[in-house]
Amino acid sequence: EAEVAQSPRYKITEKSQAVAFWCDPISGHATLYWYRQILGQGPELLVQFQDESVVDDSQLPKDRFSAERLKGVDSTLKIQPAELGDSAMYLCASSLVDGPTEAFFGQGTRLTVV
Amino acid sequence: GNSVTQMEGPVTLSEEAFLTINCTYTATGYPSLFWYVQYPGEGLQLLLKATKADDKGSNKGFEATYRKETTSFHLEKGSVQVSDSAVYFCALAGGSYIPTFGRGTSLIVHP
């Protein structure tokens, strides 16, 4: 069964260091999302791609976060420098098209900043 | 901006009890509404959805009706099982709406 792949599953980093997460969506899915989920809260959208273009990044802290999807397939989310408050689960999801269609989620990357 | 509000958990029930998890939303217009479920150690999975007012989404014995007049999308199940124990998220999305999730409601079902 096709699924969204994310790596690493867990990451511990020191504050002020750089960290990167990778996501490989389900083949053929044009829309890709990165979410941040703080413990006890719902996912918050950071960035949405349609193919290689950013559709929405209004909630992405652009002073330290960046995201790219160069060939419209897999994607990387980077944080530099990491801060203690960035500790959270980072979720990637993909869907065939934008709109009211099912989004498939990966298992996430649990980031701990120490 | 748009928002989704869910009842706080945990909701603790005995097996075969009736389940309701309340969800209300704030949005301009008519977004699509979703319920996702997250089992321990796993990613979110779509449980059901409704794309317009008065639609009823259903799956695995769960159901929810899109109520425009009360801006609600409450999740119900007539008889819960231990295997339903998970965290449930209500969400809105579609069209120009930024996909927005509620805080999640933890369900614990005891034998």
Per-residue pLDDT reduced to its tens digit, A23-75: 999 999 999 999 999 988 899 999 999 999 999 999 999 999 999 998 889 99
Nearest CA-CA distance, residue A40 and chain B, Å: 7
Identify the band that residue B42 occupies on the pLDDT scale cut at 50, 70 and 90. confident
Q: How high is the mean pLDDT of chain B?
A: 93
Percentage of chain B beyond pLDDT 90 is 78
Phi-psi region of A40 (alpha: psi -120 to 50; beta: other; left: phi over 0): left
What DSSP state is assigned to residue A70? T
Among B76, B77, B108, smallest CA distance to B11 is for B108
Indicate if the alpha-carbon torsion angle A41, A46, A52, A53 is positive or negative.
positive
For residue B56, is pLDDT > 90?
yes
Among B108, B2, B44, smallest CA distance to A89 is for B44
Are B98 and A100 a contacting pair at CB < 8 A? no
Identify the band that residue A103 occupies on the pLDDT scale cut at 50, 70 and 90. confident
Of A42, A104, A107, the CB nearest to B42: A107
Q: How high is the mean pLDDT of chain A?
A: 92
Of A42, A48, A100, the CB nearest to B102: A42
Query: What span, in angstroms and rounded, lies between the C-alpha atoms of A45 and A68?
Result: 15
For residue A16, is pLDDT > 90?
yes
Percentage of chain A beyond pLDDT 70 is 96
Are A91 and B93 a contacting pair at CB < 8 A? no
Provide long-range contacts, Cβ within 8 A and 24+ apart, for B58-66: B62/B35, B64/B23, B64/B33, B64/B35, B66/B33
Q: What is the pLDDT of residue A99?
A: 59
Q: What is the pLDDT of residue A14?
A: 97
- Strand locations in A9-108, DSSP E? 10-13, 19-24, 31-37, 44-50, 53-56, 65-68, 75-79, 88-95, 104-105
For residue A2, is pLDDT > 90?
no
CA angle A15–A36–B71, rounded 5-degree value:
150
Query: What span, in angstroms and rounded, lies between the C-alpha atoms of A93 and A106?
Result: 6
Q: What is the pLDDT of residue A100?
A: 60
Of B4, B91, B94, the CB nearest to A99: B94
Percentage of chain A beyond pLDDT 90 is 82
Q: Average of pLDDT values for B67-71?
A: 95
Contact assessment for residue A106 and residue A23, using Cβ atoms and an 8 Å cutoff? yes
Q: Which residue has the tokens 């259903």?
A: B58
For residue B1, is pLDDT > 90?
no
Identify the band that residue A98 occupies on the pLDDT scale cut at 50, 70 and 90. low
